[in-house]
Amino acid sequence: MSATGFAPVRKVIDALQRVGYGTRFFLRLCLLALASLRRPRLVIDQIHFIGNYSLSIILVSGLLIGFVLGLQGYYTLRRYGSEEALGLLVTLSLVRELGPVVTALLFAGRAGTSLTAEVGLMKAGEQIDAMQMMAVDPVARVLAPRFLAAVICMPLLAALFSAMGVLGGYLVGVQMIGVDAGSFWSQMQGGVDWLLDVGNGVVKSIVFGFTVAFVALFVGYEAEPTPEGVSRATTTTVVVASLAILGLDFILTALMFSSH
Amino acid sequence: MRFQRGRVVALIGGSGSGKTTILRLIGGLLKPRAGAVTFEGKVLHTLDRDGLYAARRRMGLLYQFGALFTDLTVFENVAFPLREHTALPEHLIRDLTLLKLNAVGLRGVAHFQTSQLSGGMARRVALARAIALDPPLIMYDEPFAGLDPISLATVAQLIRQLNDALNVASILVSHDIKDAFAIADYVYLLAQGRIAAEGTPAQMQASADPTVRQFLDGDIDGPVAFHHASRRSLQQDLGLEP
């Protein structure tokens, strides 16, 4: 038996150790991501791979969410005779909440899983080992450019998502239902605050970018190098990243909008 | 164990005898619980990260299945160590990479994706990558496993030729006795994590040591038992005895 003996104590120590390891890994990844700016080619390749291939799902989802917001928003606003506020409602919902959150969830499913699986399979194929044997730090060479690329992609994708959503709301609200186009746009223009609404949304999506990228890469890097290990890691990425996004969203929203 | 430049040393032994572990110890991927690995006068496990990386730059390790980077082409795989560790201009990297690929006879597949290679070709590309920085030590982990006779002979000949042409120390891990003996200068036979015997291939062939004989002749009965050690007897496991 071990020297510390008492099982619950050991469990707590183990858990703290894992938290500490994860935190150090995160900080190291952040530093190395900055260093990987010296090799922009690697980062650009990953932006292409991670961002570009996520575009279609993000754009289509944004449009569809915009359609639904247009419909639901119209039915609710009509009760109060304020249909012309539809543009404002759709836009605020998107830039404050749905844009960052839904984009992050989709991103975790689309890009996060592929990052986890890629890194996990590289490990299973001894590629990570081989890189270490070649005196190349795999965290710097493989993980850091992917991390930076994901962090850069997330706010851009969220912005595109919101833009598509506004377009969707416009198509349904104005073109289909017949809300006045002038008031749709002018209410939106007048009611949305750049810093409070758009700015906070961007902050959220940056935080989510760090979250998804870290979870996906960390879980992939720590995956057991077997087929079962990689498949389990992929699932873990979706579950942990999604919960982290939703939890962080609540905390961020409380911090950002509590004083209003 | 000693490994010198210009010699091919074979580590042979059954599965689980510790052959690959020795390669991982030499590469510094594992730390020894006792004893030490000394490489070019430095004790590896006392080195810091930079020191270890500097030492690894002077080693090449050929993995059993090549461990090529699946997201890079053949050319980029071989160019990888050059790009990471040198500041050579692009045209020199290109020339060096093509020369290395030429040395393993695969210049013609430079633009292939790694998924298009056969097992033997992947191993030769990995060999080209392992020698990209002209390391004084090259390690081969089961280079013959799963190869057809022609690929096997090609790889074996390459190992010998590279060893002699580049005057490097070669360590060959294998359980393929015939092919290992054909190119090795010296042989260590490992069994259960220990050196069971050592000598030149000719000495090993002539040995009367029971462990050596069992391994060379492929006998089931001998010092290396067929049954893995078990705490209970078969009769106990089957419930015939208490």
**pLDDT tens-place string over residues B57-103:** 888 899 888 889 988 999 999 999 999 888 889 999 999 999 999 88
Question: A80-94, B180-194, B197-211 — which one is most confidently predicted on average?
Answer: A80-94
**pLDDT tens-place string over residues A143-180:** 999 999 999 999 999 999 999 999 999 999 999 998 99
Beta-bridged to residue B194, according to DSSP, are B191
Q: Which CATH number fits domain B8-200: 1.10.10.10, 2.40.50.140, 3.40.50.720, 3.40.50.300?
A: 3.40.50.300
* DSSP annotation string for A178-205: ---HHHHHHHHHHH--IIIIIIHHHHHH
- Residues A125, B85: C-beta atoms closer than 8 Å: no
- Residues B67, A132: C-beta atoms closer than 8 Å: no
Q: Is residue A1 part of a domain?
A: no
Query: Is the whole-model pTM more than 0.90?
Result: no
> What is d(CA A79, CA A191) in angstroms, rounded to the nearest whole number?
20
What's the confidence (pLDDT) of residue A206? 95
Q: What confidence category does residue A1 fall into, taking pLDDT thresholds of 50, 70 and 90?
A: very low
Closest CA to A138 of A24, A32, A215: A32
Tokens of A101: 């959150």
Q: Is the pLDDT of residue A55 over 90?
A: yes
Q: Is the pLDDT of residue A44 over 90?
A: yes
Q: Please tell me the total count of domains within chain A.
A: 1
ipTM: 0.81
Q: What confidence category does residue A259 fall into, taking pLDDT thresholds of 50, 70 and 90?
A: low
Q: Which residues of chain A neighbour B84 with C-beta distances below 8 Å? A: 134-136, 141
> In this complex, which of A121, A127, A133 lies closest to B29 when CB atoms are compared?
A133
- Residues B84, A136: C-beta atoms closer than 8 Å: yes
What's the confidence (pLDDT) of residue A5? 62
> In this complex, which of A121, A134, A141 lies closest to B56 when CB atoms are compared?
A134
Pairing outcome for strands B42-43 and B38-39 = antiparallel
* Closest residue, chain A, to B135 (C-alpha): A134
**pLDDT tens-place string over residues A91-131:** 999 999 999 999 999 999 999 999 999 999 999 988 999 99
Q: Is residue A47 part of a domain?
A: yes
Q: What confidence category does residue A2 fall into, taking pLDDT thresholds of 50, 70 and 90?
A: very low
What integer is the mean pLDDT of A184-197?
90
Percent of chain A with pLDDT over 90: 82
Query: CA separation (Å) from B86 to A41, B46, B89, B96, B206?
Result: 17, 26, 9, 12, 48
What integer is the mean pLDDT of B127-145?
89
Percent of chain B with pLDDT over 70: 98
Q: Is residue A245 part of a domain?
A: yes
Q: What is the mean pLDDT of chain B?
A: 86
Q: What is the mean pLDDT of chain A?
A: 92
Domain locations in chain B?
A: 8-200
- Residues A129, B63: C-beta atoms closer than 8 Å: yes
Q: Is residue A2 part of a domain?
A: no
**pLDDT tens-place string over residues A221-235:** 999 999 999 999 999
Q: Which residues of chain B neighbour A114 with C-beta distances below 8 Å? A: none
**What range does the domain containing A157 cover?**
7-257
